[in-house]
A = this chain, B = another copy of it.
Amino acid sequence: MTAVDIALETPEALVERMARAGRAAQRELARLSDSDKSAALHAAAQALRDAEGDILAANARDLAAGEANGLTKAMLDRLRLDPGRLAGIADAVDQVARLPDPVGQVIDTVDRPNGLKLARVRVPIGLIGIIYESRPNVTADAAALCLRSGNAVLLRGGSEAVHSNRAIHAALVEGLKAAGAPADAIQLVPTQDRAVVGAMLTAAGFIDMIVPRGGKSLVARVQDDARVPVLAHLDGICHTYIHSAADPDMASAIALNAKMRRTGICGAMETLLLDAQFPKSSAVLAALLDSGCELRGDQRARAIDPRVLPAGANDWDTEYLDAILSVAVVDGLDGALEHIERHSSHHTDAIVTEDTAAAQRFLDEVDSAIVMVNASTQFADGGEFGLGAEIGIATGRLHARGPVALEGLTTYKWQVRGTGQVRP
């Protein structure tokens, strides 16, 4: 179709047309072997390297437009590519190509007394929609994970990165073609019309799952409007509870790392819970304050260190994503569990303790996607979990929870082998 034809198409028709093409490509993908899919991704990675000049030139156009439009320094940094970052993107595609293919794995088998043999076998989900903001690396990362797991992908990136995304997408498609894989397995929405996002969110039956990648307002909009299943987390209000039997040095080190290593990630601690019986709370707070963290606490926390500012009622439900931390003093494990039950976003919560019974109760009773003992919440990440990569972190309760990588991009079918059985 020409650009004019596309401009005349309704958003719904555009999504349906692209979805049909994607689903057809997915059926072709399903017939490729593990090594064919892997080879296609290696070819895509090489194509990204070969297109370095085009991609960086396109990125320069986005950066110039972003500066003219007054994007913040942080936004421009998320948007910026350079030879090193682009090499990293290509390397990440190679790394996904080397991950084991989940498709075809037998989850379990059942042999029935009547001779029927059943197997649950992993299969791709189908067509995955990715809706993302200004990071152009998502174009390659998400496409690679979807393709490795046998899914087709429909990408809709942010306007700020439109030229970068088109250049990266063009290179990926070149790679697929060179390897004989279906080009429509990776499609990029060719218009920035925001109505297309709405059409994707309501394309039940055409798109099987949507993964939003971006800030809270994007995720909230996707979750509110979607009629297609969504894999996402809205908030990362993560807690670290310093139990009375915590090792004091470990408590300080973990609290400092959980908050300050990187303050802007979803696994960053946002609330510190100090057990009233923990004897070294002042050292923990001093370490945080000395590192430049603003503390907002309840009355008992402020009594420990006068530099702690008073917390408002909203602080316990706030994801700061900044060098700010709310601090509450709680009475024992029960007090901690109660606070977490009320305020956690059920992303990641941790306890620091040398008491194994307390640790086990925390692991059992805190109802979050990730529960940790004696470790920094900043480990909440698919790479750190050994998954090789992640398409996102899910705080919903169905399908997949916590860091989601290739397995979360598959479903299963039941294969039943008989010898003529009829049901009595």
Is there contact, CB below 8 Å, between B420 and A247?
Answer: yes
A318 CB to closest chain B CB (Å) equals 18
A279 within 8 A of B: no
Question: A375 in the interface, Cβ–Cβ < 8 Å?
Answer: yes
Say if the beta carbon of A126 comes within 8 Å of chain B.
yes
Contacts of A261 in B (CB 8 A): 422-423
Are B411 and A401 neighbours in the complex by a CB distance under 8 Å?
yes
Whether B423 contacts A371 by the Cβ 8 Å rule is: no
Taking A126-B397, A363-B417, A370-B416 as given, write out 7 further A-B residue pairs in contact, using a Cβ cutoff of 8 Å, ordered by the A residue number.
A110-B385, A110-B386, A112-B384, A112-B386, A257-B422, A398-B398, A401-B414
Given contacts A209-B398, A401-B413, contact A253 B386 (CB under 8 A): no
Which residue on chain B has the smallest CB distance to residue A366?
B413
Closest chain B residue, CB of each to CB of A407: B108
B413→A374 contact, CB < 8 A: no
Distance in angstroms between the alpha carbons of A30 and B418 in the assembled complex: 40
Within 8 A of B (CB), among A38-90: none
A2 at the interface (CB under 8 A from B): no
- Chain B: minimal CB distance from A328 (Å): 21
Instruction: Give A361's nearest chain B residue, CB to CB.
Output: B31
Q: A370-B416, A371-B414, A372-B418 are in contact. Are A423 and B379 (CB under 8 A)?
A: yes
A254 at the interface (CB under 8 A from B): yes
- Asked if A137 lies at the interface with its beta carbon under 8 angstroms from chain B, I say no
Contact-size category for A:
35 or more
Residue from B125, B256, B386, B403 in contact with A398 in the complex, judged by beta carbons closer than 8 Å: B125
Residues of B within 8 A of A370 (CB): 413-414, 416
Name A residues whose Cβ lies closer than 8 Å to a Cβ of B.
27, 30-31, 110, 112, 116, 118, 123, 125-126, 208-209, 229, 247, 250, 253-254, 256-258, 261, 341, 359, 363-365, 367-376, 378-379, 384-386, 396-399, 401-403, 411-423
How long is the Cα–Cα vector from A301 to B415 in the complex, in angstroms? 29
The 5 closest A-B pairs by CB, nearest first: A375-B418, A257-B422, A250-B420, A372-B416, A399-B399
Known interface pairs A118-B386, A385-B110. Does A417 touch B374 (Cβ–Cβ under 8 Å)? yes
Question: Once the chains are docked, how many angstroms separate the CA of A363 from the CA of B126?
Answer: 17
For A255, the closest partner residue in chain B by CB is: B422
- Judge whether A125 and B397 touch: CB under 8 Å: yes
Query: How far is A4 from B118 in the complex, measured between Cα atoms in Å?
Result: 53
Q: Using known A-B contacts A118-B386, A229-B229, A373-B416, determine if residue A379 contacts B209 with beta carbons closer than 8 Å.
A: no
Give Cα A370 to B403, complex, Å.
28
| Interchain CA distance A398-B374 in the complex, whole Å | 33
Return A20 CB to nearest CB of chain B, in Å: 12
**Are B209 and A416 neighbours in the complex by a CB distance under 8 Å?**
no
A146 to chain B, nearest CB (A): 14
* Contact partners of A126 in chain B: CB under 8 A: 367, 397
CA distance A415 to B403 in the complex (A): 12
CB pair A375 B416 closer than 8 Å:
yes
Which of B386, B403, B421 contacts A379, CB < 8 Å? B421
